[in-house]
Amino acid sequence: MSVRVRRVYESPEPEDGVRVLVDRLWPRGLSKDAARVDEWPKALTPSTELRRWYHAGEGSYEEFARRYEAELAEPQAAELLDQVRAWAAKGPVTLLTSAKTPEESHAAVLARLLG
């Protein structure tokens, strides 16, 4: 299973496979044509409350990851997570995020759970 994380602002590459935007909000300043997003499962993204809490600097990345994993256990998110796993079983999947540090973002949590 091949899952990787990239910034959505990076140019698409042939080896990206299925390009999945994992941000709740559309990335600023990026057209839909340029992004070349194949899927955008918003219910798989962190809740607005969790996202605001984390970006306000109120907690650690580890606590954010723990809370996000709890959100991903909810039925709708779990179903979407299974869908992404199915795509990854068939070929490469690239999780796209606008986060400046993808390695400390929700996309990294998703990649870890999928891998």
Average pLDDT over residues 39-57: 93
More confident residue, 58 or 92: 92
Whole-number percent of the chain with pLDDT over 70: 99
Query: Identity (one letter) of the amino acid at 47?
Result: S
Q: Is the pLDDT of residue 1 over 90?
A: no
Confidence tier at 15 by pLDDT (50, 70, 90):
very high
In terms of Cα–Cα distance, which of 97, 10, 115, 93 is closest to 45? 97
Handedness of CA 86, 82, 112, 40 (dihedral sign): positive
Q: Is the pLDDT of residue 57 over 90?
A: no
Supply the pTM of this predicted model: 0.93
Angle, helices 61-72 vs 48-55, to 10°: value is 170
Average pLDDT over residues 3-7: 97
